[in-house]
């Protein structure tokens, strides 16, 4: 099989579903992701500027390849409305060949 031999995921919360969908659409058009799972109503508890806060956000799990991981996280940081977005990406340890084939075909 040609293409990237490893899948990757990126997790990132957004202020709302509309923003998450818009950025996911841009990343799909740019062929940086194959899919975005948008999870509305995520409660985030965090420390910001020395204060503990809680907000309802929309989280997104982006599916991509290892070869796209760094470029995706950089682009996501450029597009994101937060001053300091929580963008976290990692390589996937196990992915079936058909899933890798789909990822690679989606990113061509």
Report the DSSP beta bridge partners of residue 45.
54
- Block residue for tokens 């579903």: 17
CATH code of the region 7-106: 3.30.70.120
Q: Is 46 helix (H, G, I), strand (E, B) or coil?
A: strand
7-52 confidence digits (pLDDT tens): 999 999 999 999 999 999 999 999 999 999 999 999 999 999 999 9
Q: How far is CA 101 from CA 5, 42, 67, 108, in A?
A: 9, 31, 14, 11
Per-position DSSP letters for 67-92, written without gaps between them: GGHHHHHHHHHHH-SSSS---EEEE-
pTM reported for the whole predicted model: 0.93
**65, 20 in Cβ contact below 8 A?**
no
Q: Convert the pLDDT of each residue in 64-93 to its tens digit.
A: 999 999 999 999 999 999 999 999 999 999
The pLDDT-based confidence of 1 (bands split at 50, 70, 90) is very low
Which residue ranges make up each domain of the chain?
Answer: 7-106
With a CB cutoff of 8 Å and minimum separation 6, the contacts of 44 are 13, 54, 55, 56, 57
Tokens of 91: 């390589």
């Amino acid at each position: 099989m040609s293409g990237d031999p490893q899948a990757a995921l990126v997790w990132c919360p957004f202020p709302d579903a509309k923003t998450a969908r818009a950025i996911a659409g841009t990343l799909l058009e740019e062929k940086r992701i194959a899919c975005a799972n948008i999870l509305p109503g995520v409660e985030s508890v965090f420390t910001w500027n020395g204060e503990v806060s809680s907000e309802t956000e929309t989280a997104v799990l982006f599916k991509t390849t290892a070869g796209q991981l760094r470029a995706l996280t950089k682009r996501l940081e450029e597009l994101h409305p937060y001053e300091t977005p929580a963008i976290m990406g990692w390589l996937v340890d196990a992915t079936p060949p058909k899933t890798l084939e789909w990822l690679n075909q989606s990113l061509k």
